[in-house]
Amino acid sequence: MGVLYDKFIALEELSARECVITVRLCGNLNTAEICVENCRRVLSCDDEFITLGVFGVDVRISGTPLVLENFGVGGVKITGNISSIDFSANSSKGMVNHDEK
């Protein structure tokens, strides 16, 4: 379409390949808040484990009890007594092709 449009699309694609994880400790040390930006999908969710798919990586959060507070356009917010955060490479590289069966 135009040079400016192409630059905007390239910037948007680059930002979607980044994942920012922010951990905040709340008033008491037993409760934390995790915000994950550019989360692509929630792979699994229960009271003790939440696994998120971001670009090229699966993020597994463990703790008790974990609450998925918000999942929106900007990302996801999780609260609870967090015990660990693990990262592992995913096979889909963060992209989902809905046409494949």
Q: Encode pLDDT of 10-59 as tens digits.
A: 656 655 667 889 999 887 777 899 999 888 889 999 999 999 988 888 99
Does the model's pTM come out above 0.75? Answer: no
Let me know if 34 is exposed, middle or buried by CB neighbors in 10 A (0-12, 13-18, 19+).
buried
Q: Encode pLDDT of 63-93 as tens digits.
A: 989 999 888 777 899 999 999 999 998 755 4
Q: What is the Cα 3 distance to its own chain's centre?
A: 31
Q: Is the pLDDT of residue 2 over 60?
A: yes
Q: Contact, 28 vs 45, CB < 8 A? A: no
Domains along the sequence of the chain with CATH? 3-89 (2.60.40.2000)
Question: What pLDDT score does 39 carry?
Answer: 85
- The span from the CA of 9 to the CA of 99, in Å, is 23
Token couple for 2 = 């135009």
Q: Is the pLDDT of residue 100 over 80?
A: no
